[in-house]
Amino acid sequence: MSSADDSSRSRAETYAEFAALVGALAHEIRNPLSTIRLNMELLAEDFEQTDPESPTKHRDRRAKAKIDLVRQECDRLQKLLGDFLDFARQETLALEPGSLNAEIDQLLDFYAPQARDAHVEIVRYLDPELPMVRLDRETLRSAVLNLLINAVQAMEGGGQLVVRTRAAGLGVLLELIDAGPGMEPETLSKAFRAFYTTKQGGSGLGLPTARKIVEAHGGSIDIESTPGRGTKVTIWLPAPPRLPTAEPRSARPHEEAAAAGRQLDGPQGGFVPSNAS
Q: Which residue has the higher pLDDT, 81 or 164?
A: 164
pLDDT for residue 204 is more than 80: no
**pTM: predicted TM-score of the whole model, two decimal places:** 0.61
Q: What's the mean pLDDT in 183-206? A: 76
Q: What's the mean pLDDT in 143-158? A: 91
Q: E strands, 75-197, where?
A: 96-98, 120-126, 133-135, 159-168, 171-178
pLDDT for residue 234 is more than 60: yes
Q: Which of 5-9, 16-20, 220-224 has the lowest mean pLDDT?
A: 5-9
What is the DSSP secondary structure assignment for residue 239, as one 8-state letter?
Answer: -
Question: CA–CA separation, 202 vs 85, rounded Å?
Answer: 15
pLDDT for residue 274 is more than 50: no
Q: What's the mean pLDDT in 13-40? A: 72
Question: CA–CA separation, 176 vs 230, rounded Å?
Answer: 10
Inter-residue contact 26 to 88 (CB < 8 Å)? yes
Query: What distances in angstroms separate CA 71 from CA 44, 61, 74, 76, 148, one per listed residue?
Result: 9, 15, 5, 9, 28
Q: Which residue has the higher pLDDT, 164 or 203?
A: 164
pLDDT for residue 88 is more than 70: no
Q: Which residue has the higher pLDDT, 225 or 26?
A: 225
